[in-house]
Structure 1
């Protein structure tokens, strides 16, 4: 299937908003203009083989530059041989030379052909100008019109896509603020005592933990780090939703507004995925048409085009990275994860947290063990601070924070600390609390 047809089908099949489709790359229109570019080049005596040879010999260049109005101004320039131009007079066999060297003025808008005398006068004037340019070693412009139209349309469309991307980015960030507020209401701990019958804190923590693990749009994995393409993002988003379904997390919500907030969260991700797909589709269209431009003309714009194209977002970057960063700041950070408060020694929650003089944190049991073993240096920075730690180093503000946001984990850690302490004191006499108690005692 040819790309033009596939491009049209993709725009129609993925249910893109109509104002998106209206701003999609006009691939078929550009393809038609490209045919006129080729015809104009050949009419001037510069078929693809000739251009390829001239470029290889550095006797021709295709320049693509932007003007003050930020529109591309293409220009084909050649360096004519001095001997060819200097011998050009009224007796020269003009049929043997490229038309650009002897190009006649275009026909008038009425379609009438210019008179022979006008042709003679214009040719003489052009010959004199080209003679002077060649004597000075200057490049000679080849008059072309179709290529300017081609790049003007392409630049205008990219500008419109840039504007669209900017508006969509603002809309999604506003949506993120709203979702963040919704999740903050249903996932916050209850005061003064956690009432688990009226809190979805742990459901949301598990959901957002799964979302972080999915790395839907952006990966921090060393092997596959960076932004995801739309196909991989779609697969990761499907995996995330399937995991939610397997664990029945959405069915376990205890607050009705949690289900609404979760649907809004999924909707935001679907919009971001659709935006990424639309962006990739148009980028592919631009890549294809530029490649076709080079194939039909041999002008070699593939390398220079991305450098000169004036695009704030569309060509240079994807908005998914910015939106994901905003999502992390405004939504995911609202529900703290236990991994951010884990003691690096025992790999469980840092309870009671001892903040050393070097500002690193460890749970109190691990700190006592290090002191009993006569350890002196911080495992992280190697500062000589371990033996100086005492009860004044307990971070009481963090204690209250952990009790508030991680009630289950802190209680479990306290029980484990107590069991471990009893075992140290009683040794072989210690009986696990899970075993049946003595009925006599």
Structure 2
């Protein structure tokens, strides 16, 4: 299937908004103008093979120069000697046609009289001949323009449409960021901790935490993986988004919401991701259209446009990276950060929540049990920065503000850590007499 037909079908099949489709690259129109470009070149004596040879010999160049409106205007230039040579070639083709019998009659004796030989040239004639050759060489170093009109229309349409896509992209980015703010406010209302801490009947904190943790793991639109980092293409983003939705469904997280508005907020969250995916697909489709038509221009003219027209190609690069990166960053700031993850408050020694948090003089955090163990083993240096601060830590180093924060946002994790700390301390005191989960035995009697 030809790309022009496939491009039109793709625009219609994906149910893009009408104002998006109106801004799409006019591939078929550009293809028709490209035919006019080719006709103009041939009319001026520059068919595809001729241009390819002249460019290889560095006797022709296709340039782009900015005008007052900052658009890049195309211009085909050739060396004057090249123009004369092509003219002589065309003349030679005409002269190669056999003459009529009358024109082939022998010339008169007067016509065959020899003229002065080259050896008979005077000194002044030799000087004039050298000056003429030097002047011709100087002329050859200059360039002359080949008059073309269709190529200017071709690239003007591309630049205008790419600029309109840029503008559309900016508007969509603003609209999505506004949606992110609204969704962030919705989630903040239903996912915030409730008082008293032990009452979770009116909070969906843990459901949202698990949902957003899955979303972070999916890395739908942007990956931080070292092997395949950066923005996702639309196909990979679609697969990751499907994986995320499947995992939420398998765990029945959306069905476990205790607050009705949580389900509404979740649907808004999915709609935002669907819009971002659709935008990514649309922009990639237009990027492909630009790349295809530029490639076709090169194939039909041999002018090497892909190398000499960087503005269009670079503008098309924004499509798959800019909006994904910006919107995902905003999503992280306005939504995901509203529901803190336990991994951000994990002690690097025991790999569980940092309870009670000891903030050392070097500002690094460790849970109180790990700190006591390090002190008992006569450790002196911080495991992270190697500062000599371990033995100086005491009860004044407990970060009470963080204690209250952890109790509020991670009530289950902090209670579990307290139980584990108590079990561990009993084991240290009782040794072999200790049984996990059992009440400490009476050792008085």
- Normalising TM by the smaller chain, what interval? 0.7 to 0.9
**8 Å Cα contact 1:306-1:315 kept in structure 2:** no
Decide which of 156, 160, 164 is 1:156's aligned counterpart.
160
Match of 1:78 in 2: 78
| Unmatched segments (≥5 aa) in structure 1 | 98-130
- 1:95-134 aligned at under 5 Å gives the runs 95=91
Distance apart, 1:311 and its partner CA: 4.0
Q: Work out the CA distance in 2 between the residues paired with 1:225 and 1:355.
A: 33
Match of 1:425 in 2: 429
**8 Å Cα contact 1:155-1:309 kept in structure 2:** no
Distance apart, 1:314 and its partner CA: 4.3
Distance apart, 1:84 and its partner CA: 3.7
Q: Work out the CA distance in 2 between the residues paired with 1:312 and 1:303.
A: 14
Match of 2:336 in 1: 332
**8 Å Cα contact 1:376-1:386 kept in structure 2:** yes
- 1:393-412 aligned at under 5 Å gives the runs 393-412=397-416
**8 Å Cα contact 1:65-1:308 kept in structure 2:** no
Match of 1:116 in 2: none
- 1:233-248 aligned at under 5 Å gives the runs 233-248=237-252
1:250–1:303 Cα change, 3 Å: same
Distance apart, 1:430 and its partner CA: 1.2
1:391–1:46 Cα change, 3 Å: same
Distance apart, 1:134 and its partner CA: 6.2
- Are 1:297 and 2:294 an aligned pair? no
Distance apart, 1:79 and its partner CA: 1.0
1:146–1:312 Cα change, 3 Å: closer
Larger deviation, residues 185-194 vs 76-85:
76-85
**8 Å Cα contact 2:287-2:317 kept in structure 1:** no
Match of 1:255 in 2: 259
Secondary structure at the counterpart of residue 15 of structure 2: coil
Decide which of 420, 435, 441 is 1:416's aligned counterpart.
420
- 1:370-389 aligned at under 5 Å gives the runs 370-389=374-393
Distance apart, 1:315 and its partner CA: 5.8
Larger deviation, residues 302-311 vs 245-254:
302-311
Secondary structure at the counterpart of residue 244 of structure 2: helix
Distance apart, 1:432 and its partner CA: 1.9
Q: Work out the CA distance in 1 between the residues paired with 2:441 and 2:272.
A: 54
Match of 1:55 in 2: 55
Q: Work out the CA distance in 2 between the residues paired with 1:276 and 1:172.
A: 13
How many residues align? The count is 402
**8 Å Cα contact 2:434-2:440 kept in structure 1:** no
Distance apart, 1:352 and its partner CA: 0.3
- Are 1:230 and 2:234 an aligned pair? yes
- Are 1:184 and 2:188 an aligned pair? yes
| Unmatched segments (≥5 aa) in structure 2 | 94-134
Distance apart, 1:133 and its partner CA: 11
1:30–1:393 Cα change, 3 Å: same
Match of 2:354 in 1: 350
Q: Could you tell me the TM-score, scaled by structure 1's length?
A: 0.87
Match of 1:209 in 2: 213
RMSD: 2.4
- Are 1:273 and 2:256 an aligned pair? no
Q: Work out the CA distance in 2 between the residues paired with 1:165 and 1:60.
A: 38
Match of 2:43 in 1: 43
Match of 2:103 in 1: none
Decide which of 337, 341, 347 is 2:345's aligned counterpart.
341
Q: Could you tell me the TM-score, scaled by structure 2's length?
A: 0.86
Q: Work out the CA distance in 2 between the residues paired with 1:93 and 1:48.
A: 16
1:96–1:399 Cα change, 3 Å: farther
